[in-house]
Amino acid sequence: MSPFSRRASVAFAAALCAVAPIAAQQRRAITFEDFASAKIVSDPQLSPDGQWLLYAVRATDLTANKRTTRTWLAPVSGGAARQFPDDKTMASEARWSPDGKTVAFTSGGQLWIAPPSGESARQLTKLTGGASGPVWAPSGDHIAFASAVYPDCRDEACNAAKDKAKSESKVKAHIADALLFRHWNAYDDGTRSHLFVVSPDGGDLHDVIPGAKYDVPPGPFGGSEAYAWDPSGKNLAFTAKDQGGKNAWTTDLNVYTVHVTGATPRLMTGDNQGADQNPVISPDGRMMFFASQKRAGFEADKWRLMGAEFGGMSPRELLPAWDRNADGYVVAPDGKTLLVMAGDMGRDRYFRVTLDAKGTASAPQPVITEHNNTQLSIAQNSTVAWIRESASAPAEVWMGTLDASGVSNQHAFTHENDALLAQFTLPPLEDYSFTGANNVKVHGWVMKPPQFEAGKKFPVLLLIHGGPQGAWLDSWSTRWNYQMFATGGYGLVIINPTGSTGYGQKLTDGVSKDWGGKVYVDLMNGLNAALTANPWMDSTRMAAAGGSYGGYMVNWIAGHTNRFKALVSHAGPFNLENMYAATEELWFPEWEYGGPFWDATAMATQYRKFSPHLYAKNFKTPTLVINGELDYRVPYTEGLSMFTTLQRQGIDSRLVVFPDEGHWILKPQNSQLWYKEFHNWLGTHLDLKPRM
């Protein structure tokens, strides 16, 4: 059964049969089951000599309600891939040793190694806190990784005993003496992620930051990009947030260095009160590169690419004139070339930056630009592998060669989804631009429904992204997927309004302290421009949907216009005063609203101006409200309040709460229900049958 209700399914099927030309019936609209069966390719890792590629493939078992990841090994020159290390092991995070003779990987939550053949795999760790994020020392004699520990424990026996006692206790109370006592979707359980090292023979296993009260990598989403070795294999640079009781209201991450033996870490970036993170050390050990935000407390400030002498620091911004974020960066084998990933006009692209003898950086040159590109790996022979996806195709590995012209011979290497996608009509994104608030040029896309036929009218769905400092990308999302919305028979309007990233820091800054202002104008102007340029769009049958800040904007729309027939608010802030004290990352509302709600200026100019609940008397539009109970970023009580307000006023509304999900709905069957409820709601309130 597709993700729609029976009523919506019948209407959708009738619409499809009515408009699909005979020649197009060889392809069909995608269903949730199709969507779930797509493979998600990630984490390409070239062998040092560029002859072999390791990559991960995630598959979804909808019946079992789980996703599994396996690693594959393929010759770059061509030929069949095989599962690594064998066809029974679910391996991930595979990393080549510097000599290419050994691969470290994780399986069953522990660290393993094996030769490329996969034979004689050996388990290196049996830690209570597990092991993740292996990174080889360039010397080949150690592997760094992360494991959860109780900071006051000094050995594994202590960690195991504490974990056992906690699991056996009948009392499950959460007790807190300070913020952050919970984060995103989990309460603080007393453990911290620590940086460990182990030798390839399993010896010399130890915590290099024993007793530290902070996490490496920083939670909740950090990975192995947070730490790096120097060429000697004697020192590690890492990212941490060690601000004690201020952790909830400061963004001050820092870069540290520590000797592999576990000496006292050295703070390297203490002069900057903004965030500093993700060190990368040049092959000669002279330079360290990292990303830095200048403004303290602002999580969406420009990520500046910094360079510094590894031993002495004195960091400097390498690209001060470049108005883009350094979202990722890889140093080429020559040590003088960097490939920098940056969001740019709705796509993640790679730019080449070269350093002269004095360390001065050239202007960034775009080298990988089509669609959306991430997770780049480079070999000694300048072979490059990365992940490319688009709005019409899930992620696959692409390859090319870094040369004087840029990255030449770009081509798809994996084809995990080709046969699947050949069955469906998957409309592409169509770029457009318009004039937004304050006469600023704003970018967006339109996507036709798969049932499109010239001369017919189709309902419209406006999608609003979260953040608010974020962006819709030309990508295949596994959560808010464009094709899964369009398949219901809707034309999509997808706008990156004020606050969006990838269009310059001024546009990003424009949403702060103006949540219901310029963004709302941009969205309405962008919708009007799309309707004018696309007469097939039916302005009498429109809906809007958004999550997180997008959910906030849906709640705001509910109080400011009746032009939509239906709304969908996912994890949307409703009462800004209430949310301030219920959320966990306090730096966010304090920057966005100018302070806490007891600040008189912030209260008058923000909380009592831009809170959707203040306009509840204007609500009239039928609204679907969706939340996860484990969402501590936007607590699900915001959704309960929105739904209660709608119901009390007799407005058609529906509440869907997932007790086992957080800010994002991730479990396969929960995702299936999410789309079913979404399409059922729109199918009920928008006539799916195309009109002349």
| Rounded distance between C-alpha atoms, residue 636 and residue 638, angstroms | 5
Q: Is the pLDDT assigned to residue 691 strictly greater than 90?
A: no
Thinking of the domain 6-34+421-575+611-685, which architecture would CATH place it in? 3-Layer(aba) Sandwich (3.40)
Closest to 623 measured CA to CA, from 570, 659, 673: 570
Q: Is the pLDDT assigned to residue 617 strictly greater than 90?
A: yes
Could you tell me the CA-to-CA distances from 154 to 158, 217, 227 in Å, in that order? 7, 19, 22
Q: What is the pLDDT of residue 597?
A: 98
How many residues in total does the chain contain? 692
Q: What is the pLDDT of residue 25?
A: 53
| Rounded distance between C-alpha atoms, residue 512 and residue 298, angstroms | 10
Are 588 and 299 spatial neighbours (Cβ–Cβ below 8 Å)? yes
Long-range contacts of 328-334 (CB under 8 A, 24+ apart): 328/225, 328/278, 328/374, 328/376, 329/280, 329/289, 329/291, 329/305, 330/280, 330/376, 330/377, 330/378, 331/280, 331/282, 331/283, 331/289, 332/378, 332/382, 332/402, 333/283, 333/378, 333/379, 333/380, 333/382
Instruction: Dump the DSSP string for 367-378.
Output: EE-SSEEEEEEE
Residue type, 690: P
User: Mind listing the pLDDT tens digit for each residue in 314-358?
Assistant: 899 999 999 999 999 999 999 999 999 999 999 999 999 999 988
Residue 259 tokens read as: 């000797």
Reduced DSSP (H G I as helix, E B as strand, rest coil) percent helix, strand, coil of the chain, to 5 = 20, 35, 45
Are 53 and 386 spatial neighbours (Cβ–Cβ below 8 Å)? no
Q: Is the pLDDT assigned to residue 439 strictly greater than 50?
A: yes
User: Mind listing the pLDDT tens digit for each residue in 221-238?
Assistant: 999 999 999 999 999 999
Q: Which sequence spans correspond to the domains of the chain?
A: 6-34+421-575+611-685
Q: What is the pLDDT of residue 394?
A: 98
Long-range contacts of 214-222 (CB under 8 A, 24+ apart): 214/240, 214/241, 214/242, 215/240, 215/241, 216/146, 216/240, 217/133, 217/146, 217/193, 218/253, 218/277, 219/183, 219/193, 220/183, 220/184, 220/185, 220/186
Closest to 192 measured CA to CA, from 179, 178, 210: 210
Q: Fill in the DSSP letter of residue 22.
A: G
User: Mind listing the pLDDT tens digit for each residue in 319-330?
Assistant: 999 999 999 999
| Rounded distance between C-alpha atoms, residue 255 and residue 150, angstroms | 22
Please give the average per-residue pLDDT across 547-566, as a whole number.
98
- Relative to beta strand 132-136, strand 122-123 is unpaired
Contacts of 334 (CB under 8 A, 6+ apart): none
CA atoms within 13 A on the CB side of 343: 21
Q: Fill in the DSSP letter of residue 431.
A: E
Q: What is the pLDDT of residue 497?
A: 98
User: Mind listing the pLDDT tens digit for each residue in 661-683?
Assistant: 999 999 999 999 999 999 999 99
pLDDT band at 262; cut points 50, 70, 90: confident
Q: What is the pLDDT of residue 314?
A: 86
Please give the average per-residue pLDDT across 108-112, as a whole number.
98
The H or E element containing residue 148 is strand 143-149
User: Mind listing the pLDDT tens digit for each residue in 568-607?
Assistant: 999 999 999 999 999 999 999 999 999 999 999 999 999 9
Are 194 and 146 spatial neighbours (Cβ–Cβ below 8 Å)? yes
- The predicted model scores a pTM of 0.94
Share of the chain above pLDDT 70, in %: 96
Q: What is the pLDDT of residue 245?
A: 87
Share of the chain above pLDDT 90, in %: 93
The H or E element containing residue 183 is strand 182-183
| Rounded distance between C-alpha atoms, residue 385 and residue 340, angstroms | 14
Are 573 and 588 spatial neighbours (Cβ–Cβ below 8 Å)? no
